[in-house]
């Protein structure tokens, strides 16, 4: 039985529908990430699960109980807020105890839980400080401690790392992953950062404009995006997309052409417009034995250490390629390349859905 | 040669001295007159050096039950302050948190209660409290002062509640706390400076109020401000006793403000978010 079930869950503000009929099942112990750009409805969805927003339509279940009208305090969920939301007038210990207070534990039990949690999070020596005396990373830990100390069945994270600097974010990301493996709890995590999503998630839910675009493992999302949006949103640098026209067994695009892959020949018709996508890393610089190469002009080169990012002009479009460093390339020169034909993606031009 | 910084300091102190002279002169007159022997009270030029006398204070408490009047004042002022803070902060919390397009109208309506000139409503109040049998009781004054204090409290506290981040209340809700628990343990403590400011204003207004106390109280519920004025009769104005009474009236207000002052700290919500 899934731990959390969303069935056609929708959220309306007046006449505006912010989240449209989301269907999602989260299994016990699963780490699910809601990923999408700002305003895609991911936080609203999370807040509905938390009980901080009413569910306008549909059914929301935690375990086998419909919780549409259950108050947040009775849902057995804990949440880590984007801005931490620590109680500023309480010490770290009091912050954590405050979360235990409604459970009416004995003082020994309470102390034991607070001490255990603080030890796991390595905040034991901060227990007497107030939030104002903590650094951003420490506040983040305390916020997680306050959520963990209740040992809830479900953890909700609302962009918990977005206020940290890059280095600390990486560190805390690993920490969260480690904690999840250790506690084996169910997690619903909202982020707009695809690296967080890819590294943490068992399952990613990509949202856009209040709709779920695709649900799948990080590998599935990356390897077989179901729409142009998912294809371009996930991956950095993002996937190159070109419009192409099917004609006489070939696909003609602006600046290059390709043979139609065999698996696609039945789904596309003559003179049909389609969208072709390929990742920057699937551009293979021309080797002397290559037969069928394409030509582009190098506009500028960004050296990234192990990799070099080429910003190309292919026909009248910009295109990004990622190639191993030290290729002896210069801006303004021509660049000959192949595209890994196994890594090509094809989408319908109107719906944006994958043609595979 | 004065450096720019010390020049600035000089002007700051000059301003302070001027302000202090303006504010402290009446206090000096009250204190000095209350211990001046009556014969030299209006001597010209004023006598700055004299042998002090406690006669006025002794008379104040022996000729009249002044302690009772002070007690009345305390009951009325503390009662109205407590009543106004309780209901004012609850109303302010509702105004701050409930989103409705008419909420601003409600807030303005509450404020408009304060716009009555007191003198205009004295007679209606008199009739109402007479009918209710509440004339010459502290309850009547507590009710009237609260109608003036609640709007003030509501407006002050609404501003303070608006500053308390909502995510703190959401966090408390997810920590398993109910609405009242959240209000009492999270929101209200963070708005404590607002409570202190409101308490000071409510107390001082109720403590100093004169017109309603004069019209609606008699021998039983008379407050200290009215009692002091009873030394001003058609036969004689007993300045020494009035000044002694005035000084005694000053003291509880000062104590109350000093007590509240330690809650007047800024930045209570620092470190809550981000």
pLDDT tens over chain A, length 356 residues: 789 999 999 999 989 999 999 999 999 999 999 999 999 999 999 999 999 999 999 999 999 999 999 999 899 899 999 999 999 999 999 999 999 999 889 999 999 999 999 998 999 999 999 999 999 889 999 999 999 998 888 999 999 998 888 888 999 999 899 999 988 899 999 999 999 999 999 999 999 999 999 999 999 999 999 999 999 999 989 999 999 999 988 899 988 888 888 888 788 888 899 999 999 999 988 765 556 688 888 999 998 888 889 999 988 889 999 988 766 788 888 888 888 888 899 999 999 999 87
Q: Measured between alpha carbons, how far is B185 from B111 in angstroms, rounded to an integer? A: 28
**A88, B272: Cβ pair inside 8 Å?**
yes
Structural domain contains residue A355 = no
Q: Is the minimum CB–CB distance between A335 and chain B shorter than 8 Å?
A: no
Please state the domain extents for chain B. 57-273
B chain contacts of residue A136, beta-carbon cutoff 8 Å: 274
User: Could you check whether the bond before residue B45 is cis, i.e. omega within 30 degrees of 0?
Assistant: yes
| A118/A120 Cα distance (integer angstroms) | 5
Tell me, what DSSP letter sits at residue B46? P
CATH number of the domain at A333, please. Answer: 2.40.50.140
Closest CA to B31 of B252, B249, B244: B244
In whole angstroms, what separates CA B102 from the centre of its chain?
31
Residue A201 sits in the same domain as residue A173: yes
**SS3 label, residue B182:** helix
Closest Cα to residue A144, out of A134, A157, A133, A132?
A157
Q: Say if residues A12 and A39 touch (Cβ distance below 8 Å).
A: no
Same domain, A147 and A275: no
| DSSP tag of B186 | I
The per-residue pLDDT for A353 is 92
Report how far Cα A5 is from the mean position of its chain's Cα atoms: 20
Asked which of A184, A204, A233 is the last residue of a domain, the reply is: A233
| A88–chain B Cβ distance below 8 A for any pair | yes
Residue of B176, B186, B268, B269 to mutate for A, most A C-beta atoms under 10 A: B176
Q: Burial level of A42, CB count in 10 A (0-12/13-18/19+)?
A: buried
CB contact under 8 A, A81 and B269: no
Q: Which band of pLDDT confidence, cut at 50, 70 and 90, is reported for residue B149?
A: very high
Identify all chain A residues contacting B176, using CB atoms and an 8 Å cutoff.
Answer: 73, 99, 101-103, 150
Identify the pLDDT of residue A24: 95
A353 belongs to a structural domain: no
Task: Report the Cα–Cα distance between both ends of chain B, in Å, rounded.
Answer: 49
- Asked if residues B227 and B159 have their Cβ atoms less than 8 Å apart, the reply is no
- The CA distance from B86 to the nearest CA of chain A, in Å, is 21
Q: What span, in angstroms and rounded, lies between the C-alpha atoms of A311 and A93?
A: 52
Of A179, A209, A233, which residue is a domain's last? A233
Tally of CB atoms within 10 A around B205: 17
Cβ distance A19 to A11 under 8 Å? yes
CA distance A89 to B272: 9
Is residue A216 situated within a structural domain? yes
Determine the Cα–Cα distance for residues B167 and A65; give it in Å rounded to an integer. 26
Which is more confidently placed, B15 or A343?
A: B15
Token code pair at residue A17: 């529908």
Average pLDDT of the segment spanning B203-210: 94
- Domain shared by A223 and A342, yes or no: no
Are A132 and A96 spatial neighbours (Cβ–Cβ below 8 Å)? no
pLDDT mean over B178-199: 93
The answer on A227 and A270 residing in a single domain is no
Is B273 in contact with A102 (Cβ distance < 8 A)? no
Closest residue on chain B to A157 (Cα):
B171
- What is the average pLDDT across B86-99? 94
Residue-wise over A12-39: b if at least 16 C-beta within 10 A, else e? eeeeeebbbebebbbeeebbbbbbbeee
- Are residues A258 and A229 part of one domain? no
- The Cα–Cα gap between B140 and B120 comes to 17
- Is the domain of A90 the same as that of A183? yes
Same domain, residue pair A214 and A283: no
Asked if A103's CB is within 8 angstroms of B174's CB, the reply is no
Query: Would you say A285 and A337 are in contact if contact means Cβ atoms under 8 Å apart?
Result: yes
Same domain, A221 and A336: no
Would A131 be classed as within a structural domain? yes
**Same domain? A222 vs A246:** no
Token reading at A8:
């056609």
Q: Which helix (H) or strand (E) holds A347?
A: strand A345-348
In chain B, pLDDT over 90 holds for what percent of residues? Answer: 69
Nearest Cα to Cα of residue A211 among A350, A18, A26, A37? A18
Interface test with A, best of B174, B181, B183, B188 (most A CBs within 10 A): B174
The CATH number for A51's domain is 3.40.50.300
Residues A45 and A193 in one domain: yes
Give me the percent of chain B exceeding a pLDDT of 70: 95
CA of A181, closest CA in chain B: separation in Å?
23
Judge whether A69 and A238 are in contact, CB under 8 Å.
no
What's the mean pLDDT in B209-213?
Answer: 93
Which CATH fold would you assign to the domain B57-273?
Answer: MetI-like fold (1.10.3720)
Residue that terminates a domain, selected from A179, A214, A233: A233
Q: Mark whether A157 and A205 lie in a shared domain.
A: yes
pLDDT of residue A226: 95
Asked whether residue A356 is domain-assigned, the answer is: no
What are the residues whose beta carbons fall under 8 Å from the beta carbon of B160, sequence distance 6 or more? B92, B191, B193, B194
Nearest beta carbon to residue B190 from set A78, A89, A163: A89
Give the pLDDT confidence score for residue B4 in this predicted structure: 61
Look at residue A171 and tell me if it is in a domain.
Answer: yes
Helix (H, G, I), strand (E, B) or coil at A236: coil
Instruction: Check CB contact under 8 Å for B173 and A72.
Output: yes
A148 inside 8 A of chain B by CB: no
Tell me how many domains chain A contains: 2
Q: What local confidence, expressed as pLDDT, does residue A256 receive?
A: 87
User: Apex CA B128: angle with CA B123 and CA B131, to 5°?
Assistant: 125
Closest-CA distance of chain A to residue B23, Å: 37
DSSP code, position A262: G
Q: State which H helix or E strand residue A20 sits in.
A: strand A16-26
pLDDT at site A80: 94
Contact A87 B173 (CB under 8 A): no
Nearest CA of chain A to the CA of B193: how many Å? 13
Query: Does A354 reside within a domain?
Result: no
Residue A257 is predicted with a pLDDT of: 87
Dihedral through CA B145, CA B147, CA B149, CA B153, nearest 10?
A: 160
Using CB atoms within 10 Å of the CB of residue A220, give its burial: 0 to 12 exposed, 13 to 18 middle, 19+ buried.
middle
Compare all CA atoms of chain A with the CA of B192 and give the residue at the minimum distance: A89
pLDDT at B273 over 80: no
On the question of pLDDT at B5 being above 80, the answer is no
Q: Which of A54, A70, A82, A85 to mutate against chain B (most B CBs within 10 Å)?
A: A85
The whole domain housing A97 covers 4-233
Interface mutation target, options B166, B171, B269, chain A, most CBs of A under 10 Å: B171
Q: What is the pLDDT of residue B39?
A: 84
Report CB contact under 8 Å: A88, B268. Answer: yes
**Alpha-carbon dihedral of residues A214, A220, A225, A231, nearest 10 degrees?**
100
d(CA A184, CA A18): 32
How far apart are alpha carbons B242 and B230 in whole angstroms?
9
Dihedral class, residue A74 (left if φ above 0, else alpha if ψ from -120 to 50, else beta): alpha
Q: How many CA atoms within 13 Å lie on the side-chain side of B64?
A: 23
Residue A135 Cα to chain centre, angstroms: 26
By the 8 A CB rule, do A308 and A235 touch?
Answer: no
User: Are A183 and A65 in the same domain?
Assistant: yes
Residue B249 CA to residue B73 CA, distance in Å, equals 9
Which tens digit of pLDDT belongs to each residue from B31-75? 999 999 888 888 888 888 888 899 999 999 998 899 999 999 999
Q: What pTM value is reported for the model?
A: 0.82
């Amino acid at each position: 039985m899934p731990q959390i079930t969303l069935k056609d869950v929708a959220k309306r503000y007046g006449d505006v529908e912010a989240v449209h009929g989301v269907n999602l099942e989260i299994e016990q112990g699963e780490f699910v990430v809601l990923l999408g750009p700002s305003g895609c409805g991911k936080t609203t969805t999370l807040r509905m699960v938390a009980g901080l927003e009413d569910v306008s339509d549909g059914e929301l279940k935690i375990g086998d109980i419909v919780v549409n009208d259950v108050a947040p305090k009775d849902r057995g969920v804990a949440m880590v807020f984007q801005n931490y939301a620590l109680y500023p007038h309480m010490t770290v210990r009091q912050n954590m105890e405050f979360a235990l207070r409604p459970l009416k534990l004995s003082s020994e039990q309470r102390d034991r839980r607070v001490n255990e949690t603080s030890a796991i999070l390595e905040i034991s020596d901060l227990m007497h400080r107030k939030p104002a005396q903590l650094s951003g990373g420490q506040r983040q830990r305390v916020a997680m401690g306050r959520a963990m100390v209740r040992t809830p069945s479900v953890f909700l994270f609302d962009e918990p790392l977005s206020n940290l600097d890059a280095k600390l974010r990486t560190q805390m990301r690993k920490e969260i992953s480690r904690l999840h493996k250790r506690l084996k709890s169910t997690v619903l995590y909202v982020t707009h950062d695809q690296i967080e999503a890819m590294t943490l998630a068992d399952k990613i839910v990509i949202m856009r404009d209040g709709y779920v675009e695709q649900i799948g493992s990080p590998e599935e999302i990356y390897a077989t995006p179901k729409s142009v949006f998912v294809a371009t949103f996930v991956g950095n640098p993002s996937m190159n997309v070109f419009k192409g026209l099917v004609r006489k067994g070939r696909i003609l695009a602006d600046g290059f052409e390709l043979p139609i892959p065999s698996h696609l020949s039945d789904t596309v018709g003559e003179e049909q417009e389609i969208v072709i996508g390929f990742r920057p890393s699937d551009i293979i610089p021309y080797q002397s034995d290559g037969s069928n190469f394409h030509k582009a002009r190098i506009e500028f080169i960004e050296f990234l250490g192990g990799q070099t990012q080429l910003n190309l002009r292919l026909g009248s479009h910009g295109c990004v390629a990622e190639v191993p460093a030290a290729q002896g390339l210069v801006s303004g020169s021509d660049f000959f390349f192949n595209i890994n034909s196994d890594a090509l993606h094809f989408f319908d031009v109107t719906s944006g859905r994958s043609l595979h | 040669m004065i450096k720019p910084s010390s020049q600035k300091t000089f002007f700051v102190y000059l301003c302070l001295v001027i302000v202090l002279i303006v504010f402290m002169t009446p206090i000096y007159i009250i204190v000095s007159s209350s211990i001046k022997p009556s014969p030299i009270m209006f001597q010209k030029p004023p006598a700055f050096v004299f042998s002090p006398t406690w006669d006025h204070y002794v008379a104040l408490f022996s000729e009249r039950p002044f302690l009772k009047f002070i007690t009345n004042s305390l009951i009325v002022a503390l009662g109205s302050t407590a009543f106004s803070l309780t209901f004012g902060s609850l109303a302010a919390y509702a105004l701050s948190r409930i989103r409705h397009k008419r909420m601003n109208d409600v807030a303005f309506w509450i404020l408009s209660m304060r716009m009555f000139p007191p003198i205009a409503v004295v007679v209606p109040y008199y009739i109402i409290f007479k009918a209710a049998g509440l004339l010459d009781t502290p309850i009547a004054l507590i009710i009237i002062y609260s109608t003036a204090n609640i709007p003030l409290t509501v407006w002050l506290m609404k501003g303070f509640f608006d500053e308390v981040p909502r995510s703190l209340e959401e966090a408390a809700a997810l920590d398993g706390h109910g609405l009242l628990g959240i209000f009492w343990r999270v929101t209200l403590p963070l708005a404590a400076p607002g409570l202190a400011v409101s308490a000071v204003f409510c107390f001082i207004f109720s403590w100093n109020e004169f017109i309603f106390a004069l019209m609606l109280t008699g021998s039983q519920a008379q407050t200290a401000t009215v009692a002091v004025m009873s030394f001003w009769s058609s036969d004689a104005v007993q300045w020494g006793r009035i000044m002694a009474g005035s000084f005694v009236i000053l003291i509880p207000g000062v104590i109350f403000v000093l007590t509240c002052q330690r809650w007047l700290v800024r930045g209570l919500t620092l470190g809550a978010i981000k």
